[in-house]
Amino acid sequence: MTGNHKRAIQCCCILLCGMLLSGCNSVHWGREYTCDAPAEPGALTSPSEGNWLRVVSWNLHGTPEVAPMQRRLERVAAQVLARKPDIALFQEVWFEGDAILLERALSSRYDRIRDSETVRSHFFSPFTGFRAGGLLAFVSRGSPWAAKGGSQFEKFRDSAPWLRYNERDGIANKGVQHFLLVNGDRNVAILNTHLQAQYPTSGRDSAYREIRAGQIAQLRRLAERLSDNATPVVAAGDLNTMPDETDLYRAVTAYWTDLTRAKYDSCRCGTHLGKDLNDGSKVGGSRWMDYVLARMPSGYGDGVAGAKVELIESKTVDCRYSDHHGLDVLVPLARQ
């Protein structure tokens, strides 16, 4: 029996135990490690209300094998409350218990955008609190932008086979959370997403390039439907795709404007920390795979002029926050 099969059996056994505990809202079994205090928030500010949208996008590494997330989520919430974005978009909040922890920590300023009913319709949901797609969004009560109703969820048509259960993507029901923001007579469509992960050590088609290409195409089709050539669309999340993957990145930028590209070009850094050894060391290179993208209709700029990007940096994996740095992005939305 291979190591991957042993880990898969362990994962399934623990999930089954969680299912026996009816009403359980999260499943985490990892060891918790000490971590120093969070860094001070950055100085990014919104120049003028209404003509900008400030977005925090962040993969929070909420898979079952990590430690219980309460302390990390409290640190994440402290960053969001200090930075005061209009919206906060999170990926890998896989369990309702963790979503509730974050909702409570942000409740002084933010409202949770209601999930689609399909998010909690997964087979595991009633017993473990599993949230299909793992996507979660909040809107500031102090923002000129307000959410119009709840969110919808569109599952990706292309995904890894469920039989590769040790990789988990095949049973995660990844997709796109989307909703509309309104500000007077102005609208902007928001897409929060998390694409197929790469598994470089699993062999076969471990990079899943064709699957990611299909998901990128589906993201575009959804944006085209929501925009109708009149509404700005902002998409954010973990695309699990690097700028040096030329064909896939070209498929992204053929439709979208990458608002993070200038930051990447200047820092040549990454948003994902790589594999962690849980002793403060790190193996695997840091890779840029998180993005905030914009598609502007006629009458707006391209979204790049005036856009600003800051990283919310973790020291190592899950210390202080996640195995991903967060993105704090100012998106210009002024009409020309």
pLDDT band at 4 (very low <50, low <70, confident <90, very high): low
Identify the H or E element spanning 10: helix 3-20
The one-letter amino acid at 244: D
Of 216, 145, 227, 151, nearest to 182 by C-alpha is 145
User: Structural domain of residue 291, as residue ranges?
Assistant: 3-42+50-332
pLDDT reported for residue 240:
95
3-state class percentages of the chain: helix first, strand second, coil last, to nearest 5? 25, 25, 50
Which letter does DSSP use for residue 315 in this model? S
pLDDT band at 9 (very low <50, low <70, confident <90, very high): low
Rounded to two decimals, what is the model's pTM? 0.90
Kindly state the tokens that stand for 270.
Answer: 């990454």
- pLDDT tens digits, 74-84: 999 999 999 99
CB 29 within 8 A of CB 69: no
- pLDDT tens digits, 158-169: 988 876 766 778
pLDDT band at 276 (very low <50, low <70, confident <90, very high): very low
pLDDT band at 24 (very low <50, low <70, confident <90, very high): low
- pLDDT tens digits, 247-270: 999 999 999 999 999 999 999 899
Strands (E), 171-325: 175-183, 186-194, 233-238, 257-258, 275-276, 282-283, 290-295, 308-312
Q: How far is CA 330 from the centre of its chain?
A: 17
pLDDT reported for residue 277:
37
Which letter does DSSP use for residue 96 in this model? H
CATH number at residue 35: 3.60.10.10
CB 103 within 8 A of CB 112: yes
- pLDDT tens digits, 209-246: 999 999 999 999 999 999 988 999 999 999 999 999 99
Instruction: Taking residues 117-124, report their average pLDDT.
Output: 83
Of residues 301 and 183, more confidence is placed in 183
Question: For the chain, what is the domain count?
Answer: 1
User: Which residues lie closer than 8 Å to 286 by C-beta, 6 or more apart?
Assistant: 269, 270, 271, 272, 273, 274
Residue 23 has pLDDT above 80, yes or no: no
pLDDT reported for residue 256:
97
- pLDDT tens digits, 166-190: 677 878 899 999 999 999 999 999 9
- pLDDT tens digits, 137-152: 999 999 999 999 999 9
pLDDT reported for residue 336:
78
pLDDT band at 13 (very low <50, low <70, confident <90, very high): low
